[in-house]
Structure 1
Amino acid sequence: MKKINVWMMAAAAAACVTMNSCNQGGVSADATLGSQNDSLSYAVGVNVGNNIKASLATFPGDDSLKMDLVIKGILAVLKDTSALKMTSDNANAYLNAYVMKVQQSQAEAELKVGQDFLAANRSKEGVITTASGLQYKVITEGTGAKPTAKDKVRCHYTGKLLDGTVFDSSVQRGQPAEFEVGQVIPGWQEVLQLMPVGSKFQVWIPSNLAYGTQGAGPIKPNSTLEFEIELLEIVK
């Protein structure tokens, strides 16, 4: 979760009140709050609440959280630690175990989605499945040389999740990518060495030949990926 530096926010707000800069900027205390100190205290609470709300929105299981208990836990930490029903260490251990369990469940589900997709896709017209489980379809067959693992290549590509979400595209950037064949994910290494220069392939890469159990950015752990790759040249 995001860390909230309450002291820094309070210090900044206090400085604003002391220097009267808030009033100069057209910001004034709410009269219903009684005093500037009341307004300052409330403003800190609003800021902290907004940060907590944003953090909870990204927390797995957010929809099932009981907000009254969340608030009780916060108030116990702030006002009366003797009322805590978990120590900080116990709470952190519980949260870590919970998150790991959720992530494992999600990864297992993602793996099954990919396996089911590849099982159905392999029987489609034009799809070739290699011994590693990689699948590809030739869109355009080039006539140039095939690169080796030590070659540097220039290519255009678009990478998608199985739901069609584009997570990376040199085509959209308008700039071909250059890299050594041996320095990319295993699925790319394999398929590039099957492509004569000038070829364009549609490729499906199982998770163990892509980003595996770790994932990367928007790519979830155990994700099967789809690419359209055009091999433009072997860079000399």
Structure 2
Amino acid sequence: MKKFLFTLLITAFAATVSAQTAKKAFAVKKATTGKTATKTAVQPLAITNTLDSASYAFGLGTASNMKQGGITALNYALLLQGFKDAFAGKTPLIDKAKAEVAINNLVNSLTRAKYSIQINEGKSFLENNKKLPGVQVTTSGLQYQVLIKGTGVSPKVIDTVLVHYKGSLLNGDEFDSSYKRNAPISFPLNGVIPGWIEGVQLMQQGAKYKFFIPYQLAYGESGAGNNIPPFSTLIFEVELLKVTAGK
């Protein structure tokens, strides 16, 4: 977050300086009659030393990165004021906590806009899926279907479980499978995504369930690696092979 905030401020500062300089170049001279005005020609910014070069490079590089992230416009006047206040040691208009919240809100809104298709697809899928026979829904929004009932114990959050599983996206792309590796996996139940923590506790040893996990209970707004995009609703088939009591 600190790195992003620094990048944001540097970019805005460079853009603002450019805007302010251009504005001054358009200074208006009023005629003696007060009825006419002339504009001077725009003078291009000059790079004459290392500081000039570095300043422009900071603006160009960081603005390009921010544009790739979806930021296309900023309030340059306020950002320049923030820069001036920081260098002058003045009391900021908003405190550090509110500044971080503001940046997070902006980034989150841009990210949601970028992945609106995935968000809407997931919402639509879950709305239709919960109407299908055998699909049950928990208060958190997790959906599941019992494929095979178990007869053993149900795990607690502190237990270790041994499972076989496969996971896929809504388009059917399979991103992971212990079946294909022919190697079930063992892990502490409290160390996985929320949808698994909740869902596996519903199972009994020997059971096989199908889980439909909203992105909020999966990998959220960040996704995971190259195979699970942000805001992805996930489908898992999970077979609970063994439960080992935690200590």
Match of 1:96 in 2: 65
- Contact kept in structure 2, 1:186 and 1:209, CA below 8 Å: yes
Structure 2 partner of 1:192: 200
The separation in 1 between residues aligned to 2:142 and 2:64, in whole angstroms, is: 37
Within-5 A mapping of 1:81-92: 87-92=56-61
Secondary structure, counterpart of 1:197 in structure 2: coil
Aligned-pair CA distance for 1:103: 4.7
2:238 to 226, 229, 234: 229
The structure with more helix, counted as a fraction of residues: 1
Provide the aligned C-alpha RMSD in A.
1.8
Shift of 1:178: 0.2
The amino acid that maps onto 1:98 is K
Matched-pair contact (CA < 8 Å) for 1:107–1:213: no
Residue pairs, 1:82-231, within 5 angstroms: 87-101=56-70, 103-217=111-225, 218-231=227-240
- Helix, strand or coil for the counterpart of 2:69? helix
Kept in 2, the 8 Å contact 1:161–1:167? The answer is: yes
| TM-score, normalization by structure 1 | 0.61
- Contact kept, 8 Å, 1:162 with 1:226, in 2: the verdict is yes
Which amino acid counterpart does residue 174 of structure 2 have in structure 1?
V
One-letter identity of the residue aligned with 2:59? N
Distance (whole Å) between structure 2 residues aligned to residue 222 and residue 205 of structure 1: 11
TM-score w.r.t. length of structure 2: 0.58
**Identity of aligned pairs, percent?**
41
Letter in 1 for 2:217: L
Q: Post-superposition shift, 1:100?
A: 1.8
CA distance in structure 1 between the partners assigned to 2:181 and 2:155 by the alignment: 24
Shift of 1:110: 1.4
Give 2:160's aligned amino acid: K
Q: Is the partner of 2:141 in helix, strand or coil?
A: coil
Q: Provide the secondary structure at the position in 2 that maps to 1:159.
A: strand
Provide the aligned length of Structure 1 versus Structure 2. Answer: 152
Question: Counterparts of 1:47-62 in structure 2 under 5 Å?
Answer: none
C-alpha distance in structure 2 between counterparts of 1:208 and 1:161, whole Å: 15
After superposition, give the CA deviation of every residue in 1:154-185 in whole Å (9 maximum; x if it has no partner): 00000101111111111111000000111110
CA offsets 1:24-73 (integer angstroms, 9 cap, x no match): xxxxxxxxxxxxxxxxxxxxxxxxxxxxxxxxxxxxxxxxxxxxxxxxxx
> Shift in Å at residue 93 of structure 1?
2.5
Contact 1:215 1:221 in 2 (8 A): yes
> Contact 1:114 / 1:224 at 8 angstroms: preserved in 2?
yes
CA distance in 2, matches of 1:97, 1:165: 31
The CA distance in 1 between the partners of 2:234 and 2:60, in whole Å, is 36
In the aligned structure 2, how far is the partner of 1:157 from the partner of 1:145? 19
Return the offset for 1:91: 2.6
On the 8 A contact 1:146/1:197 being kept in 2, the answer is yes
Structure 1, unaligned runs of 5 or more: 1-83
The Cα of 1:98 is off from its aligned counterpart by 2.0
Question: What displacement does 1:113 show?
Answer: 1.2
Query: Take 2:147 and 2:60, find their aligned partners in 1: how far apart are those partners?
Result: 54
SS in 2 for 1:142: coil
Give the aligned residue type for 2:155: P
Residues 207 and 224 in structure 1, CA contact (< 8 A), matched pair in contact too: yes
